[in-house]
């Protein structure tokens, strides 16, 4: 039997999307994990992270929280991630999880100077991605779903930046050979993304953006989802080494 993955739940979807369940469910389905192949710990609501022993890897969800708020639960999770990364546990952070992992490893997180990035965006891979276990062989440019206000302003020392968008210089990084952060949401379907745009339409208008135009540009992002599935396969291949 395959060892389970730990899903570190750091927040809830926007209220209008909670009828579709939460981030751990979306991640588990997108990653191709069965119900008995994932253990969810809701750190935002005070649950304690377990020992990392026996897990194939850990996946950290997105959140409406801000890493810069330095909430107690977030800082405790960052410490756990720092120790897990140095111990060699495969890690994969998504959006808030990406930022939290960068913060845990000594990078800098803050508000993006250009504001919100939202919708189906174009990712461009750096040449360093050609040798990366999760990104190698993917097109140099592909679509991904994104929604964020904060960003990794400076990747951790020693990290390799793997992808960027026109808006964000650090959309993915690898630290060491077993820890990844991605600003985009590989678990989002086009339907999830449209739901987020509807929920944020007032904010988009207030920022000078057109919700209809953002929604009209939404499309499927299968290559982004492949990155998450590759993490699962790669982490399993490393288990026990």
Phi, psi of 227 (to 5 degrees): -60, -45
Work out whether strand 91-94 and strand 57-60 pair parallel, antiparallel, or are unpaired: parallel
Nearest one of 125, 139, 138, 145 to 190, comparing CA atoms: 145
* 171 noted as active-site residue: no
For the beta sheet containing 57-60, the strands, ordered from the edge strand earlier in sequence to the opposite edge, are 38-42, 5-9, 57-60, 91-94, 179-182, 172-175, 160-165, 117-125, 141-148
Nearest one of 105, 175, 185 to 144, comparing CA atoms: 185
Contacts 24+ apart (CB under 8 A), 209-216: 209/116, 209/118, 214/118, 214/119, 215/119
Under DSSP, is residue 20 helix (H, G, I), strand (E, B) or coil?
helix
* 37 noted as active-site residue: no
Q: Which of the following is catalytic: 148, 167, 171, 185?
A: 185
* 187 noted as active-site residue: yes
- Following DSSP, what letter does each residue of 196-217 receive, concatenated? HHHHTHHHHHHTT--HHHHHHT
Q: Which of the following is catalytic: 95, 103, 117, 171?
A: 95
Q: Which of the following is catalytic: 103, 117, 187, 234?
A: 187
- Following DSSP, what letter does each residue of 65-105 receive, concatenated? S-GGG--HHHHHHHHHHHHHHHHT--EEEETHHHHHHHHHT
Distance of alpha carbon 104 from alpha carbon 83, whole angstroms: 9
Which secondary-structure segment (H or E) carries 233? helix 222-238
Catalytic residue IDs: 95, 185, 187
């Amino acid at each position: 039997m395959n060892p389970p993955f730990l899903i570190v739940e750091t927040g809830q979807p926007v209220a209008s999307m909670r009828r579709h369940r939460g981030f751990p469910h979306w991640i588990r389905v997108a990653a191709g994990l069965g119900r008995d192949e994932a253990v969810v710990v809701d750190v935002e609501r005070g649950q304690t992270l377990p020992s990392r022993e026996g897990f194939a890897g850990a996946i950290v969800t997105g959140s409406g929280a801000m890493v810069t708020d330095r909430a107690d639960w977030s800082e405790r999770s960052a410490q756990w991630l720092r120790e897990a990364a140095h111990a060699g546990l495969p890690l994969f952070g998504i959006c808030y999880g990406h930022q939290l992992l960068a913060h845990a490893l000594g990078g800098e997180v803050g508000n993006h100077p250009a504001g919100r990035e939202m919708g189906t965006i174009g990712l461009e891979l750096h040449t360093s991605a050609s040798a990366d276990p999760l990104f190698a062989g993917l097109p140099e440019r592909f679509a991904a779903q994104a929604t964020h206000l904060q960003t990794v302003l400076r990747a951790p020392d020693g990290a390799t930046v793997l992808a960027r968008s026109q808006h964000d210089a650090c959309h993915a990084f690898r630290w060491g050979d077993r820890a990844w952060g991605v600003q985009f949401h590989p678990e989002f379907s086009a339907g999830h993304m449209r739901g987020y745009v509807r929920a944020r339409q007032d904010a988009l208008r207030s920022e000078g953006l057109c919700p209809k135009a953002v929604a009209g540009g939404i499309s499927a992002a299968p290559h982004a989802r492949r990155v998450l599935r590759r993490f699962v396969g790669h982490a399993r291949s490393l288990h026990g080494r």
